[in-house]
Amino acid sequence: VGIWCLKRPELRRTKCALYSASGAYLSDRSYHERRENSNENFSKRRVVGVVGVGASFLLGIYGYRYLKAFSESVSIFVLDDSDDRRQVSSTEELDEEVASYQGIPGGRIDGLPTYKMADVAKHSSAEKRLWVTYKEGVYDITDFVDSHPGGDAILMAVGSALEPFWNLYAVHKTPQVTKLLEQYRIGNLDPAEAKENAEGHDPYHADPSRDPELVPSNKKPFNAEPLPERLIENYITPTEYFYVRNHLPVPVVDLSNYAIEIEGPGIKSTSLTLEELKKMPKHTITATVMCAGNRRSEMSQVKEVKGLYWGPSAIGNATWSGVKLSELLEKIGFDESTNEALHVQFEGLDLTPESNPYGGSIPIEKAVDPKGDVILAYEMNGKPLTRDHGYPVRVIAPGIVGARCVKWLNRIVLSKEESPAFWQRRDYKGFSPNVTAETAKWDEAAAIEELPVISAICMPSKHDHVHVNDDSTVTVRGYAWSGGGRPIIRVDVTSDGGDRWVEAELVEKSDARPGRHWSWTLWEVKVPVTASQNQVELWAKAVDSSYNVQPESFKHIWNIRGVLNNAYHRVPINLVR
């Protein structure tokens, strides 16, 4: 199938995954799963398995060699342990992926002692060591706990299986995490008990269906982005193509029991149903929302980072309708001249295993400023919010990172402190390139609020074969945006490493004034190429109204969480005349 796909010209781009090169891995994995599930007729299955692995290996080698010949015409993907795909940027990176594969994470290792869950349960304190299990593996993680990026949340799993927690936080199911876990391997788990652990409840069973064109970077929780070319088809991103960023399972909301609780010093504690909210004055804004990890995949090419492997499409522009937070707070008695609150905290209905809600906060100055345009939105693009986008109510804090635009809004708290939620205190913060997970001082780092200027080339895509226009140019299109309400004033594009830049036409943009310019700008440009060139690398950079400009490379803005990925966008292409 993989070889057939590679030979079909119309399937060479994003629709073409490298099944042939992964054939041996998938057959080997299937073989082991069958061995684990039953010993019946094992000798026959072993013969079939060996034949299957051998055949797939030969097909894989052929497909891989075929791929090298067409590496500039296809997109290459590898499958991680949770069956999510990650794009490989070169055949050299594919070599590294193949070389690093060391078998099934959590699979049985001959020669290690076998334990029962009762044995693991005895090791749930530092004095007795901290043990966990994953699939058929038993691990002593005592020496890792202090450097766990998620803080002491890992302690919930000690003395038991990781599966219930990793089913919820499926972002752990990556080669990087499982490789790290294997360093702490001390034994095997009884196969029957490992099977019981794997058959637990799926917390994502009630998630909504999604448009099949969205490209997932993670399935549980669901996180996905559209193809880049979709972004520039419309100034207002259609809801079905708007990127989805979920941290936890999508809650099922019963409107008959739904209300937003509002509390804090100097205001009247209030509870508002959706219908009561709709009776207040309705405001509509057009605003771009972007994930802090947008374009993280490019930063990962410098050095591996923690987080989802986003491309350039974890961003979208929509109309949002609802109640202004500033008007709501004024209605329930907020007086900025006397109130000592410094932050407004938001909590959602999506819950962690320990029943803690997803949360975030924004500065009080943003929340109470009528020109800050913070909306408690119940409509997106003129229709009720979809479940993935926060039904029935979500926060839209325009110009601020998407992580603070809490979905499935349940509670608002005025406070002197930032939100205590993990995602405010231990995530979505930027660090110096030399800071590691072990040396990061989370409590001292500032939480991301306004985002920096960014742009991306949406057409052509990486390694596309692009027709050269009659005037010896190629047409390039993309988006640009800056946080804090700063409009884009210029986009520059080059095809020769920056010797000559061409200023793009800003073809679609808002006419809002600086400070309230919440929407992105779509741009287009014809970039000259020379007759002798068969390949070029396009670079794009944007400039906002404060003359902030994108940095040239990711090397000097690299950070452990892979956020604030706003270096020049670089897209190599092949020229066709």
Would you kindly state where each structural domain of the chain is located, as residue ranges? 2-98, 114-198, 218-425, 454-576
What is the DSSP code (8-state) at residue 496?
A: B
Cα four-point dihedral sign 436, 439, 443, 444:
negative
Predicted pLDDT of residue 171: 67
Q: Which amino acid is at 461?
A: S
**Whole-angstrom distance between the N-terminal and C-terminal Cα of the chain?**
31
**DSSP helix/strand/coil, 394:** strand
> How is domain 454-576 classified at the CATH fold level?
Immunoglobulin-like (2.60.40)
Predicted pLDDT of residue 110: 92
Beta pairing class for 343-351 and 409-415: antiparallel
pLDDT block averages, 10 residues each, the chain of length 577 = 45 40 42 38 43 50 43 47 51 46 77 94 91 95 84 78 79 80 95 85 89 92 96 98 97 96 96 98 98 97 92 98 98 93 98 91 98 98 98 98 98 98 96 94 97 98 96 98 98 97 98 97 97 96 98 97 98 97
DSSP letters, 212-274, are: TTSEEEETTTTEEE--HHHHTT-SSPPGGGS-EE-SSPPP---GGG--EEEE-TTS--EEE-H
Residue 458 bears catalytic tag: no
pTM to 2 decimal places: 0.75
Distance, in Å, from the CA atom of 219 to the CA atom of 216, rounded to the nearest integer, reads 6
Residue 247 bears catalytic tag: no
Residue 428 bears catalytic tag: yes
Q: 291, 309, 391, 404: which one is catalytic? A: 291
Residue 172 bears catalytic tag: yes
Tokens of 109: 């290792």
Distance, in Å, from the CA atom of 287 to the CA atom of 372, rounded to the nearest integer, reads 12
Which is the CATH superfamily of the domain at 218-425? Answer: Oxidoreductase, molybdopterin-binding domain (3.90.420.10)
Residue 101 bears catalytic tag: no
Distance, in Å, from the CA atom of 541 to the CA atom of 563, rounded to the nearest integer, reads 18
Q: 8, 46, 65, 148: which one is catalytic? A: 148
Q: 85, 108, 123, 245: which one is catalytic? A: 245
Predicted pLDDT of residue 86: 54
Predicted pLDDT of residue 172: 79
Tokens of 94: 């594919």
Residue whose C-alpha is closest to residue 85's, from 18, 2, 157: 18
Distance, in Å, from the CA atom of 156 to the CA atom of 437, rounded to the nearest integer, reads 20
Distance, in Å, from the CA atom of 309 to the CA atom of 296, rounded to the nearest integer, reads 6
Beta pairing class for 76-79 and 270-272: unpaired
Q: 172, 295, 296, 411: which one is catalytic? A: 172
**266 Rama class: left (phi>0) / alpha (psi -120 to 50) / beta:** left
Predicted pLDDT of residue 529: 97
Helices (H) and strands (E) in the chain, counts: 14, 30
Q: Which CATH architecture has domain 114-198?
A: Roll (3.10)
Residue whose C-alpha is closest to residue 115's, from 130, 143, 129, 136: 136
Q: 309, 428, 479, 568: which one is catalytic? A: 428
Predicted pLDDT of residue 148: 82
Other Cβ atoms within 10 Å of 51 Cβ, number: 11
